Amino acid sequence: MLCLVRQADSVIIEVEVDSKAKGKQCLDKVCEVLGIIECDYMGLQYIGPHSENLWLNLRNQIRRQLPGPPPYRLQLRVKFFVPPHLVLQDITLHYSTLMFDEHSSKTDCVQHLLTKLRWRSGGSTDANSNNHNNSSDETPSDEEGQQVSIETDRTTMIHLCQKVLKEHLLLRGIKTNAVIYQFLKEASELEDFGMEQYFVKNRNGETLRIGVGPTGILIHDLNLQLKHNILGSEYS
């Protein structure tokens, strides 16, 4: 039975498993291909009948959870975000960074952390690069500004590019792995780090965003104003 597993960077991995295979067997094969030994942090998702992302139950047979015949399409995701000092493998840190990058637009990121995120996702992966002028007052070009899609206002984009450049210069001489570690350390301190986001309507028809994560449940309105904060200890 063929399973097509998409990574966070959209690269597809083809995995052959037995027709009665359980989700754990598929996940183990994917992690083996990628060299990931910390499989317990990872999970597989599939698209549900209402176009929602659902977690594959690793203890049940795959074919009993997914509709239709194979090949089955799945997505490799970090299921349990943990502080970076508890992670042993660089590749696990890499996937955690990709997942945070993917969901950053849905989280209430502080500006300096968002700046670091955009520096990484902008294509610069070597903190030791010497391709920039030492002046932190250098103004990015129009082309650089156009590549930043966080804000539509051009002045705001250029200002953000300047912050990204300044962050890049501050990181000169630091190894890339150390930069990733520090970035994830700061990200893990965010209130909604590692939370799955869902949009629902209450009885009054108001759309709310519910974040479910390891620390509890956060309920925001669409303006990101916190409505309720339910700690995990209150419902465990």
Q: What is the pTM of this model?
A: 0.56
Percent of residues, the chain, with pLDDT higher than 90: 18
For 232, phi and psi rounded to 5 degrees?
-60, -35
Strand order in the sheet with 196-201: 196-201, 207-213, 216-221, 226-231
Tell whether the model's pLDDT for residue 72 goes beyond 80.
yes
- As a dihedral over the C-alpha atoms of residue 141, residue 142, residue 148, residue 152, rounded to 10 degrees, the angle is 140
Residue 150 half-sphere exposure toward CB, CA atoms < 13 A:
28
Tokens 């103004």 belong to 139
Mean predicted lDDT score pLDDT of the chain: 73
pLDDT per residue as tens digits for the range 132-160: 444 444 444 444 444 444 445 677 777 77
Q: Distance between CA 74 and CA 31 in Å, rounded?
A: 14
